[in-house]
A and B are shown apart, each in its own frame.
Chain A
Amino acid sequence: NAGVTQTPKFRILKIGQSMTLQCTQDMNHNYMYWYRQDPGMGLKLIYYSVGAGITDKGEVPNGYNVSRSTTEDFPLRLELAAPSQTSVYFCATFRVPEAFFGQGTRLTVV
């Protein structure tokens, strides 16, 4: 039972490049989330999904896109990377009362 798995763990992107952060879970949870965490700050919600085929914007969705074609996978897409997107990204699932987080993807945009 791996829980929530994120890949890659680290990535350096050039300005304007695109990439997809992968997130997969094996707990059959309906609710999934993407957060970003800037240095010294708490986590901010980017997008969330309450089930396959359903996604919605969180607090900071600009510059990102998501899809949820299966219960297991919830990829986060950056289309035109900008330095402001340098951050640590966490994927999470939720089943009452507990959220489960992945180990994070550290992204640097230069």
Chain B
Amino acid sequence: DAKTTQPNSMESNEEEPVHLPCNHSTISGTDYIHWYRQLPSQGPEYVIHGLTSNVNNRMASLAIAEDRKSSTLILHRATLRDAAVYYCILRGTGGGADGLTFGKGTHLIIQP
């Protein structure tokens, strides 16, 4: 899997938007961009994924750069419950048979 680069940590205030960046300059044309998050003492959970177009779901939005070398996960109105480690992961079209490759992710701190 291609490599991703994320900031080690970010801090935001409750009820404000949060933009979590991810660089993936070696992404291939068939790689999907996935985001997972891991709440304290829990397993990771799926947040969102996309290929080329921006995506929205009930948890977040994903903005993908036109050249696909970077993306941004957007939490529109952060709550204390959003404090977690966020992982940006590239997945090829092989169906995920050989698993997802996790980096260290971004530790998001939410201040009340």
Which A residues lie at the B interface, using CB under 8 A? 4, 31, 33, 35, 40-45, 48, 50, 56, 58, 90, 92, 94, 96-104
Contact = CB atoms under 8 A, between A and B. Distances in A.
Contact of B42 (A45, A50, A103): A103
A99 B49 contact: no
Given A42-B87, A42-B105, A101-B45, A50 B34 contact: no
Residue of B34, B36, B43 most packed against chain A (CB within 10 A)? B43
B59 interface: no
Contacts of A44: 102
A94 B43 contact: no
B99 A41 contact: no
A98 B99 contact: no
Contact of B44 (A41, A45, A48, A101): A101
Interface footprint category on B: 20 to 34
Nearest to B42: A103
Contacts of B95: 31, 96
A44 B99 CA distance: 10
Contacts of A45: 98-99, 101
Contacts of B46: 97-100
Considering the complex of A and B, which 7 residue pairs feature the smallest CB-CB distances, nearest first?
Answer: A101-B43, A42-B102, A43-B102, A98-B46, A45-B99, A94-B96, A90-B43
